[in-house]
Structure 1
Amino acid sequence: MTDAPAISVKDLTKVFGGRTVVDHFDMDVPKGAIYGFLGPNGSGKTTTIRMMCGLLTPDDGSGQCLGYDILTQQEQIKERVGYMTQKFSLYEDLTIRENLDFIARMFRVKDRKARVQGALEDLGLADRAEQLAGTLSGGWKQRLALAACMIHDPQLLLLDEPTAGVDPKARRDFWDEIRKLSAQGVTVLVSTHYMDEAIQCDFIAYIAYGKKLISGVAREIPQMIGLHTYRVTGPDLSTLEAELRKEEGVAQVARFGAVLHVSGTDGAALDALAEKHGADGRYRWDRKEAELEEAFIYLMAGAADNFSGAAA
């Protein structure tokens, strides 16, 4: 097994209607990794993923996916990729089994009948095999969509906001399946804005309005930014929150129920604020390790929208 990345791209750029939707994007994705793409809606996540995998031709840049050139060998890449879109895109008037059989035919899957049955059993769909897809709940449609995009045993799986609109248990079950696939060597690219999904990823790239802000090992992102955080509890947090937003050294104040998370890149300044506002005992200030959600909010706050004003 080679150590070469599953995907390696450089300077990927895409322009739509005079707007730079993706701006000189670089990325290496290790084989078998779950790589999460985070960012606000319209930030270029889907466009970036499609270009990285040969599904969309960039206006500039180069790279390889699964050993194939993303500019000249797109058909070879497509044969080895499974793509699960945000919107359910299978046939609602066909049964689960009929949908899987149809997709298997499209990919010229060998021993098709056995492969379809295996997919039904792998995703817990066997008992519902004759149910019409249109009558399924969101969670079951999600399972069917995953089974369909894995029917040809792809080396790479693309998931575009895969759990939008499904309940928390269905989301957990879905991620259990993704972890199994990753353990089998399947590389997974997933766009999401759910923090509980982000922490499931091995690596994360933050994308905002066409630009990559940061990328790396998921658990290391807050430290890469240099973010320090305090957890603050006490009475009348709204008043304290307003005061803290005016303080130098406070990059952000985020409310989580009855708790404030106060963050900044100057640890000494935050320590001084904790001492100042905690001196009378009304508020409890506890240092905590900065997490992905605080990092995400911090990065988004400093990102410029490329669709505002005259930005390109």
Structure 2
Amino acid sequence: ADEGEIFGLIGPDGAGKTSIFRILVTVLLADKGNAYVMNYDVAKDFKLIRNIVGYMPGRFSLYQDLSVEENLNFFATIFNTTIQENYETVKDIYQQIEPFKNRRAGKLSGGMKQKLALSCALIHKPKVLFLDEPTTGVDPVSRKEFWEILQKLKSQGITIVVSTPYMDEAKLCDRIALIQNGKILDIETPTNIVKKFDKTIFSVKSEKMFKLLNDLRQFEKTISCFAFGDSHHLVVEHQINLEELQNYLGHHKNLSIKKIEPEIEDCFMQLIQNEKLNES
């Protein structure tokens, strides 16, 4: 990740995102290989790294029986600082939860817990902030607010490394790494990831979606087909004859076929499929 950017680690559950984060913040020792944060070795310089990184785990890990203010003071004390000393760093976030400063952390809503956890991760003014799936289980409004906060932190010069299983959040990062089974499949800007998609893609719907999915996967010119929201995304070679596809699916009622632009999730699925083909 470059200094001062929002770098996204994108992948499904079990892809290895949390393990990478735990290695980089020096709470997990890697079996092999090397990893560096701000040119510091995670194995040799772990004490230095812990002073310059902030870490927000995927699970809420603050003290549930302590109040909002007590949690923040506790983490400030660990890093030999105070809320007042670094207040400007957490001001925009803390002001939103300050009315609840005497409420126990365990009694906060999901969105408020995330803001408290972020405040605690920032209280020592880190140079790099690691956020492990920070918006998982949070309502859409809180998700939007959280990403607005990240953009403000970026403007302060803080490098942000964030993991998420949500492909729509990938678009909000400066660059992303797509990861599956512990392997990085590609690293690029979201725009360039999409530009690399070199196939034709259709959105297909009908009354019987399960049967449609099976039929599409049996079509001789199908490269891949996956359920995607209320439709199926069908990936084919460029030279497909649309009329041929319509004739093949003619027995489906209320059939709808639209050519669409690929999304990051389509690119990710294609990379996974290419990886499987290479392995075989």
TM-score by length of 2: 0.85
Task: Note the alpha carbon deviations across 1:85-122, whole angstroms, 9 max, x for none.
Answer: 1111111111111111110111111xx24247556642
What is the one-letter code of the residue matched to 1:129? Answer: K
Alignment-derived partner of residue 276 in structure 1:
244
Q: Partners in 2 of 1:172 and 1:302 — Cα distance?
A: 33
Choose the corresponding residue for 1:267, options 223, 238, 252.
Answer: 238
Choose the corresponding residue for 2:175, options 183, 203, 207.
Answer: 203
Alignment-derived partner of residue 84 in structure 2:
114
Choose the corresponding residue for 1:291, options 246, 256, 263.
Answer: 263
Q: Determine whether 1:41 maps to 2:41.
A: no
Unaligned residue ranges in structure 1 (runs of 5+): 1-28, 305-312
Secondary structure of 1:267's match?
coil
Aligned residues with identical type, % of pairs: 36
Task: Note the alpha carbon deviations across 1:104-142, whole angstroms, 9 max, x for none.
Answer: 111111xx2424755664211221111111111111111
Matches within 5 A, 1:156-167: 156-167=128-139
Task: Note the alpha carbon deviations across 1:1-25, whole angstroms, 9 max, x for none.
Answer: xxxxxxxxxxxxxxxxxxxxxxxxx
Please state how far the C-alpha of 1:199 moved relative to its aligned partner.
2.0
Q: 1:117 to 1:206 in 2, by over 3 A?
A: closer
What is the one-letter code of the residue matched to 1:297? Answer: M
Alignment-derived partner of residue 5 in structure 1:
none
Alignment-derived partner of residue 138 in structure 1:
110
Q: Partners in 1 of 2:182 and 2:51 — Cα distance?
A: 28
- 8 A contact 1:34–1:189 mirrored in 2: yes
Q: Partners in 2 of 1:256 and 1:60 — Cα distance?
A: 37
User: How many residue pairs get matched?
Assistant: 271
Please state how far the C-alpha of 1:247 moved relative to its aligned partner.
1.9
Secondary structure of 1:102's match?
helix
- 8 A contact 2:203–2:232 mirrored in 1: yes
Q: Determine whether 1:193 maps to 2:140.
A: no
User: RMSD of the TM alignment (CA)?
Assistant: 2.6
- 8 A contact 2:90–2:122 mirrored in 1: no
What is the one-letter code of the residue matched to 1:162? Answer: P
- 8 A contact 2:86–2:124 mirrored in 1: no
What is the one-letter code of the residue matched to 1:275? Answer: E
| Bigger fraction of residues in strand | 1
- 8 A contact 1:154–1:186 mirrored in 2: yes
| Bigger fraction of residues in helix | 2
- 8 A contact 1:222–1:291 mirrored in 2: yes
Q: Partners in 2 of 1:126 and 1:120 — Cα distance?
A: 11
Please state how far the C-alpha of 1:256 moved relative to its aligned partner.
3.6
Alignment-derived partner of residue 62 in structure 1:
34
Q: Partners in 2 of 1:92 and 1:236 — Cα distance?
A: 47
Secondary structure of 1:79's match?
helix
Mean Cα deviation higher: 211-220 or 140-149: 211-220
Choose the corresponding residue for 2:202, options 217, 227, 230.
Answer: 230
- 8 A contact 2:89–2:125 mirrored in 1: no
TM-score by length of 1: 0.77
Q: Partners in 1 of 2:25 and 2:62 — Cα distance?
A: 21
